[in-house]
Amino acid sequence: MKLIHWGFIGCGDVVERKSGPAFSEVAGSDVVAVMSRKEEHVRAFAQRHGIKRWYTDAQQLIDDPEVNAVYVATPPSSHATYAIMAMRAGKPVYVEKPLAASYDDCIRINHVSEETGQPCFVAYYRRCLPYFQRVKQIVNDGTLGRIMNVQIRLSMPPRSIDYASEENLPWRLRSEIAGGGYFYDLAPHQLDLLQDIFGVIVKATGFCANRGELYRAEDNICACFLFENGIPASGSWCFTGHESAKEDCIDIIGERGTLSFSSFERRPIVVVTSQGREEINVPFPHYVQSPMIKSVVEDLQGFGLCTSNSVSATPVNWVLDRVLGKL
């Protein structure tokens, strides 16, 4: 069995809590090097996780002869640069979502992947989680009948960090780094999941506003979509609402019933038909990226197939940029 020796570019909170430890849990996979521009930070991370080598230069990590696959876990504005560097060095890459900070950068990544023959996988890990796979199963087994409409609703009050001065704002609220605000950070998970279930979104439009005036990025968004199979959908995202309006729900409306589930909170799946109301609880793994990383590793080892790649991820950025008026 081919062993996948990972090098990490970036070692922030996502790597620490959601993904990093999962790479060593998967059979045939381990982490041999990590990189961050902050020497003290990357050294401490490597020591804490038992990683043999650390770097402050991405090219040095990519050139490490023991590294044969690269995980890019930096903010979106640098995803394209690091992914392309890795693929041009002959190494496959696994990139955090969204694939890039713009649709144009996604196209660049796809061109290089095709040119070099190196795969680029994307961390839309909800595709592989049992909870969301159960949602897809219920849709596909006909329980709801013909699907008529899909509705996304996400509302949350401002976070304490949202009140920081502009120079101290988190990168997720700096459009030049993240591609947009919280919409560009959170909606990709929802859009990718729905495209995995219903097919590619072929039409998208939207309106965005800054109602809270806490930062420059958009904080309220309304959008309409059309999937390739003709199903219409809509979405509403509010990141400056009152606590009483807090909501995390996607409704799938069929001719025989409805299905409701959450994207980020771990609530039961709710199915309502003429037979009654059913709540379905599906457990989550300890590290939520474990199933996706297992899928990526098995694909690289030649006996599996990971469907979350740069080609499937690119339409997500197309939708985001259409809604925000960037395209």
Mind listing the pLDDT tens digit for each residue in 231-279?
999 999 999 999 999 999 999 999 999 999 999 999 999 999 999 999 9
Q: Which of 109, 106, 91, 84 is nearest to 33 (CA)?
A: 91
Q: For residue 85, what pLDDT is reported?
A: 98
Fill in the amino acid letter for 16: E
| Owner of token pair 């690269």 | 70
Residue 19 has pLDDT above 90, yes or no: no
212-232 mean pLDDT: 98
- Sequence-ordered alpha helix ranges (H) in the chain: 13-14, 20-25, 39-49, 58-63, 79-88, 103-116, 130-140, 175-178, 182-198, 290-301, 310-323
Start-to-end C-alpha separation, the chain: 44
Residue 81 structure tokens: 């640069």
Residue 105 has pLDDT above 90, yes or no: yes
Name the CA dihedral angle for 85, 86, 90, 92, rounded to a multiple of 10 degrees: -150
Q: Residue 88's pLDDT band (boundaries 50, 70, 90)?
A: very high
Residue 324 structure tokens: 């925000």
pTM equals: 0.95
Average of per-residue pLDDT values in the chain? 97
Beta-carbon contacts of residue 44 (< 8 Å; ≥ 6 apart):
none
Q: For residue 18, what pLDDT is reported?
A: 81
Q: Are 174 and 161 in contact (CB under 8 A)?
A: no
Q: Which of 234, 231, 232, 204 is nearest to 222 (CA)?
A: 234
- DSSP run (H or E) holding 273: strand 269-273
φ/ψ bin of 199: left (φ > 0), alpha (ψ from -120 to 50), beta (otherwise): left
The C-alpha R_g of the chain, in whole angstroms, comes to 20
Beta-carbon contacts of residue 14 (< 8 Å; ≥ 6 apart):
73, 96
The percent of residues in the chain predicted with pLDDT above 90, rounded, is 95
Q: Residue 16's pLDDT band (boundaries 50, 70, 90)?
A: confident
Q: For residue 14, what pLDDT is reported?
A: 87
How far is 70 from 139, CA to CA, in rounded Å?
35
- DSSP run (H or E) holding 33: strand 29-35
Residue 229 has pLDDT above 70, yes or no: yes
Query: Counting every residue, how long is the chain?
Result: 327
Q: Residue 1's pLDDT band (boundaries 50, 70, 90)?
A: low
Fill in the amino acid letter for 307: T
171-197 mean pLDDT: 97
Strand ranges across the sheet with 220-227: 201-209, 220-227, 232-238, 147-155, 247-254, 257-261, 269-273, 276-280
Q: Are 100 and 179 in contact (CB under 8 A)?
A: yes
